[in-house]
Amino acid sequence: MTETLEVNTDMDVARHNTQHQSETEEPNQYSPEPMLNLPRVGSSIGWMVVFFLMSALSGFLYAVYFGLQEGFIAGLHHTEVDASTFGVQIKNNLETPIGRTITAVLQFVLVIPIIFFAAKFPGQSAAKTLAITKVPKNILRRWILYFAGYWLFSVAFLHFIHETDSSFTQSLRGSKHFGLAITIAVIAPIIEELIFRGYLYKAWRFTRLGFVGALILISALFTVIHAGQYQWPTLLVIFCFSVLLGTAREKTGSVLVPILLHAINNTLAAVLVIYLGANI
């Protein structure tokens, strides 16, 4: 699945770079480097399936761990595990703070190496494909200000429509679980941004979709993976957030900016919901 899309002529390379630079130019920002190897669209879809399968596998591995633990405890007390309710017990345990934390750590261990493997090409590092590059501080500060505007708007919007809690947010509120907070604030942004604004962006940006098409498609997929966690108003806010992150990726030429903005967003949410029990 690591086939490469070769840019056949110097004219093609120049056209791609000129187009990219004109669309992303900002004062004092780094110029984008020539990218000779791009992930194929077909390969990117295949790898995307692998990423999500590995995420699902993390839940399965935790379920196995929980089953072995329950079996061991039952053995110590010379009791039997109730098979009729065992599936419900596993599901409920997966939704606890410790269950979510362990599952997220397993996702990180399983998915991150695969992302870097898929993004590595002959003569081109995974870091270059994923655009793991530094950004000048003045540009970084500017995007943090843009994010602040988004954050204030999204909070006001959700407050105005009086959105009801989902079971996911109810399970988080007031838990004060440090591992869960780290999962939300650090692990989730890294995994999600390397997949969506890292690998998939690079695979789809220079196709016929262009920047706008890739931005909309990636934002839609990003919203879909959160569909089971939130109500539609929050999903609308998440779509807008993804558009902001994708634009930051395009304009700065670095995946580190959307990772940082995503981490700030999730840290604020973790503090407000997990520790302060706020209704946002």
Of 33-37, 79-83, 200-204, the poorest mean pLDDT is in 33-37
pLDDT at 147 over 60: yes
HSE, side-chain direction, 13 A CA sphere, residue 12: 10
Position 83 confidence tier, pLDDT thresholds 50, 70, 90: low
Apex 270 CA angle, 265 and 271, nearest 5? 105
**132 pLDDT tier (thresholds 50, 70, 90):** very high
* pLDDT of 35: 55
Q: How many CA atoms lie within 13 A of 19 on its CB side?
A: 12
Q: Which residues contact 144 (CB under 8 A, 6 or more apart)?
A: 260, 261, 264
Burial of 96 (0-12, 13-18, 19+ CB in 10 A): middle
pLDDT number for residue 76: 67
What's the pLDDT score for residue 126? 94
End-to-end CA distance of the chain: 41
Average pLDDT over residues 38-57: 90
More confident residue, 273 or 84: 273
Q: What percent of the chain has pLDDT above 70?
A: 79
Percent of the chain with pLDDT over 90: 51
What is the distance between the alpha carbons of residues 73 and 165, in angstroms, rounded to a whole number?
35
Average pLDDT score, the chain: 83
77 pLDDT more than 90: no
Q: Which residue has the higher pLDDT, 87 or 205?
A: 205
β-partners of residue 6 are 37
Domain ranges of the chain: 4-275
Under DSSP, the state recorded for 5 is E
Model confidence at 34, pLDDT cuts 50, 70, 90, reads very low
pLDDT band at 31 (very low <50, low <70, confident <90, very high): very low
* pLDDT tens digits, one per residue of 216-231: 999 999 999 998 888 8
- What's the rounded mean pLDDT across residues 166-194? 89
